[in-house]
Structures are given as C-alpha cells and as structure tokens.
C-alpha cells in the first residue's frame, strides 16, 4: 500500500510554514495544492487500489472549498481511501458540526499545525513517520 500525504490550502504563508515543519520533523513528502479542484484532479490522475491518502484540508478556499471537495470525493466513491484532517482558521462551530457528518474526517484542528498537534493525531503520525 502506498500512502500519500496532501495539504490543500490557499494561504501561501501556511503552506510555507507547514512545509518547514514537515521538513524539520519527517522524511515524508507532502504534496501541496492551492484549492480542492487541483487536489481532486491530482487524486483522480494518480489514484489506484493500492494508494491511500491523508489530507490536511482547509475549508475556506477559492475555486473549490473544503466542503465542496468532501462532497465530490464522496460522490465519486473515493472517500474510503481518503482520510481527512480539517486544518482551518475557522472558529465556526457549524464547521465543526458539519465535519462530524463525514465518516472519513478523522480530526478537526485550528491552524497553524504544530508538532504537538500532529502528535495528537495517531493516523497522521502513521503517515508522517515522525523522526525523534
């Protein structure tokens, strides 16, 4: 099984910070996309029965937001091979409640990502293989 880690966020500062965090603490490669449409296109082009994905997904983005992305992967039947951590600046409880309606959302956390936050998500740790 091949595991792929993707971050989907339109904020270049967050993408830069998270890239630095991941490069400091892990050997894992994380692919970054600026909106849900670009990430969905990538998944559709590269998906296969031996690939699973862990996504760090922002909610508020142009082109295709996080909820539209979640609905689309569900409609395409891709949600079984994709686990999602909602990583957002949203403090809206409606977003937290909505995230509970998707079986493949494993966590909902506030930006920015830190090592401490990463360590609280066992499935994400498996994808990262954090260095000690």
- The pLDDT tens digits of the residues spanning 32-83 come to 999 999 999 999 999 888 888 999 999 999 999 999 999 999 999 998 899 9
Cα(19)–Cα(24) distance, integer angstroms: 9
The pLDDT value given to residue 37: 97
77 to 73, 80, 81: CA distances (angstroms): 6, 7, 9
Cβ atoms of 6 and 53 within 8 Å: the answer is yes
- Please give the structure tokens belonging to residue 73: 């992967």
pLDDT at 130 over 60: no
pLDDT at 30 over 90: no
Q: What percent of the chain has pLDDT over 90?
A: 60
- Please give the structure tokens belonging to residue 110: 């506030």
Report the interhelical angle of 66-75 vs 36-46 (nearest 10°): 30
The pLDDT value given to residue 39: 97
pLDDT band of residue 105 (cuts 50, 70, 90) is very high
pLDDT at 26 over 90: no
Cβ atoms of 82 and 52 within 8 Å: the answer is yes
């Amino acid at each position: 099984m091949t595991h792929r880690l993707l971050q989907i966020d339109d904020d270049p500062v967050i993408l830069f910070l998270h890239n630095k965090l991941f490069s400091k603490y892990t050997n894992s490669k994380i692919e970054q996309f600026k909106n849900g449409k670009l990430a969905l296109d990538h998944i559709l082009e590269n998906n296969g029965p031996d690939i699973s994905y862990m996504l760090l997904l922002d909610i508020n983005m142009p082109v295709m937001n996080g909820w539209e992305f979640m609905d689309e992967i569900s409609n395409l039947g891709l949600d079984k091979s994709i686990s999602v951590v909602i990583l957002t600046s949203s403090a809206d409880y409606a977003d937290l409640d909505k995230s509970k309606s998707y079986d493949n959302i494993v966590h909902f956390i506030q930006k920015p990502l830190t090592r401490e936050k990463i360590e609280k998500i066992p499935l994400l740790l498996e994808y990262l293989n954090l260095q000690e």
